[in-house]
Structure 1
Amino acid sequence: MRSSHADRRRTTAAILLNIGSSVGIVMVNKLVFEVHAFNFATFVTVIHFCCTWIGLVVCARLGAFEPKPVAWRRMLGLCASFCGFVVLTNLSLQYNSVGFYQMAKVLTTPAVALIQFLFYGKTFARPTIISLAVICLGVGIANVTDVQMNFVGTVYALAGVVVTSLYQVWIGSEQKALQLLPPQLLYRQAPMSALMLLPCVFLLDDVPALMRYELTFGALCSILLSGVLAFLVNWSIFAVIGRTSAITYNVVGHAKLCLIIVGGFILFSYPLDWRNLGGIFIALVGIYLYSKVKLAESAAAKSSASSASKP
């Protein structure tokens, strides 16, 4: 019983850490890109993974976890899917309107569910499916302001959905298959992902402009803060998926999107109309329903285990 309560507290802490750090990094990145004009998104992602690895090295030295050896070939798929997710997300944003880009991201939740059903044999109860549909509808309404499609942009967007979904599913499956704690798996992935992503900087970022950029103290502090938050985001992503599932992580992600919209309105005076408010309300209803379903499933599983243990 104590172990169950401790696991629940750790899971809740991981979810709260993920929400707080994810919302924080979006706001800090807005400072990096808009205020300091450091518009090199792929290079910033490389910095994020370098900061993540440095943070993990420090944590390992302090005894927070013990690194375990993993064959580099075993990490290739996970690292490649991450790099593909970053590249395709940037290309989707480049070739599509913001509205279509956000709508495509909403498709990640049903895509994750479909991959788990087809390749892992996982089924979902009707209340779970209904709650996920409500969440996706709400997030779609809250985020879609202009939807303009073109063939190239649509291909990039759909490919990004598939690769992102595979990445999220593989995080959970690889942790279980390799019997690794979240920081142990991330410790092996972070430096390899940074190296694999580095060549993409020359394809996606304006390297001559990057070389000419005059780094101010304020910009340096913002970039370093973004790196620290990225360490917390990456750790919590692996922790949330490892302790729950890729579907639950997507639900948490939709909650973050709603908070980011509200945060943008409060901090950056971004417009907020009835569609945003209505979509956020619908999404929150769906998140409440999903939480209620998960609590009921947890209580039923606990009751079943208790009955099975009785003589």
Structure 2
Amino acid sequence: MNKRVLTFLCLVLNIFFSILIVLLNKMVYVRIGFPNVTLSMIHFAITFLGLIICEKLDVFCIKDVAIKEMVPIALTFCGFVVLTNLSLEHNTIGTYQVTKMLTTPCVVVMQAICYKKKFGLLVKLTLIPIIAGVVINFYYDIRFNILGTIYATLGVIVTSLYQVWVSRKQKEFQMDPMQLLYYQAPLSAAMLFVIVPFLEPIGNTLQHSWTFTDILMVLLSSVVAFFVNLTSYWIIGYTSPLTYNMVGHSKFCLLLLGGAIIFHESLALNQAIGITLTLIGIVLYARVKMKDGISNISRLTLEEGKPLYKT
């Protein structure tokens, strides 16, 4: 299959599975009360199992790499998943999703400071309404809480670091998304396995009055998480962290709708204004990046003396 077609398919599937996983996880937290870190550990384990099956079916081949090279990215993966899930657990779906939009400006700042990447003035200006909209949303969120805000903020920072590292490490080791995830998933599961007994006593989980529906919800959430991870890795690895974030923002309106219908979450007027402002910033940012991309392609083509289009 053509790489462009496969990437587009992954974008569509990622949007679908990402929306589904948020709604499923929220239901698991709200209606079942399943412990957060334990659920993340199960997600990682199921993801590793899915990758073993894919490898046996010759979907990809395992590439040897030193385990120590994978430890930092596995740590950030743990932090990324656990913190965003904690944000989802303690915030409304609307606030959870709006906060994730801060990942875009955070990725820009990290790449500019750590890797000296240059961004144009228009790109920087489009980040202002994004940040302002998120701040307004938090200020007027009727379910605002300090703990949820802390989790959301830490989640944005770790998620940004994780996305930048995934993109760079994949290029550094010449590994495709599934090869990288094959090492990362079991390492992350093992790390969480060590800390779960201290954060979430296993006895409390085992003593829960489990129903068939409860077990099915947890398993379904884990399977969907595997496909979210798989499609996310493909997008980050074969496009860029910023593209991944911009595509991800298209899920926002559908998640708001899902939160309103399923969990009866409502928005204050000023909160809606903040969300609208953020979305405007996102749209402007996407347009600027698209124009920059077209300009760079045209410039490189002219420098090489090649025609822009085949005739």
TM-score (norm 1): 0.84
1:110 aligns with 2:105: yes
Judge which range, 179-188 or 254-263, deviates more: 254-263
2:187 match: secondary structure: helix
**Candidates 192, 197, 203, aligned match of 1:208:** 203
Q: Report the counterpart of residue 120 of structure 1 in structure 2.
A: 115
1:167 aligns with 2:162: yes
The separation in 2 between residues aligned to 1:73 and 1:266, in whole angstroms, is: 45
Judge which range, 300-309 or 111-120, deviates more: 300-309
Aligned pairs for 1:254-273 within 5 A: 254-273=249-268
1:277 aligns with 2:272: yes
**Candidates 49, 53, 77, aligned match of 2:44:** 49
Q: Report the counterpart of residue 15 of structure 1 in structure 2.
A: 11
The separation in 2 between residues aligned to 1:207 and 1:77, in whole angstroms, is: 27
**Candidates 290, 301, 304, aligned match of 2:296:** 301
TM-score (norm 2): 0.84
- Residue 43 of structure 2 aligns to which amino acid in structure 1? H
Q: How many residues align?
A: 303
CA 1:164–1:63 in 2, change beyond 3 Å: closer, same or farther? same
The separation in 2 between residues aligned to 1:259 and 1:93, in whole angstroms, is: 16
Q: Report the counterpart of residue 24 of structure 2 in structure 1.
A: 28
| Residue 260 of structure 1: how far off its partner (Å) | 1.6
| Residue 131 of structure 1: how far off its partner (Å) | 2.5
- Residue 68 of structure 2 aligns to which amino acid in structure 1? R
- Residue 169 of structure 1 aligns to which amino acid in structure 2? V
The separation in 2 between residues aligned to 1:280 and 1:269, in whole angstroms, is: 18
CA 1:174–1:227 in 2, change beyond 3 Å: closer, same or farther? same
| Residue 8 of structure 1: how far off its partner (Å) | 4.0
CA 1:21–1:157 in 2, change beyond 3 Å: closer, same or farther? closer
Gaps of 5+ in 1: none
| Residue 77 of structure 1: how far off its partner (Å) | 0.6
- Residue 18 of structure 2 aligns to which amino acid in structure 1? S
CA 1:275–1:16 in 2, change beyond 3 Å: closer, same or farther? farther
The separation in 1 between residues aligned to 2:297 and 2:169, in whole angstroms, is: 26
Q: Report the counterpart of residue 68 of structure 1 in structure 2.
A: 63
Gaps of 5+ in 2: 307-311
Judge which range, 222-231 or 233-242, deviates more: 233-242
- Residue 196 of structure 1 aligns to which amino acid in structure 2? M
The separation in 2 between residues aligned to 1:280 and 1:43, in whole angstroms, is: 32
Q: Report the counterpart of residue 309 of structure 2 in structure 1.
A: none
The 8 Å contact of residues 237 and 249 in structure 1, kept in 2 or not, is answered as yes
Judge which range, 100-109 or 202-211, deviates more: 100-109
1:229 aligns with 2:228: no
The 8 Å contact of residues 97 and 149 in structure 1, kept in 2 or not, is answered as no
The separation in 2 between residues aligned to 1:191 and 1:84, in whole angstroms, is: 15
The 8 Å contact of residues 102 and 134 in structure 2, kept in 1 or not, is answered as no
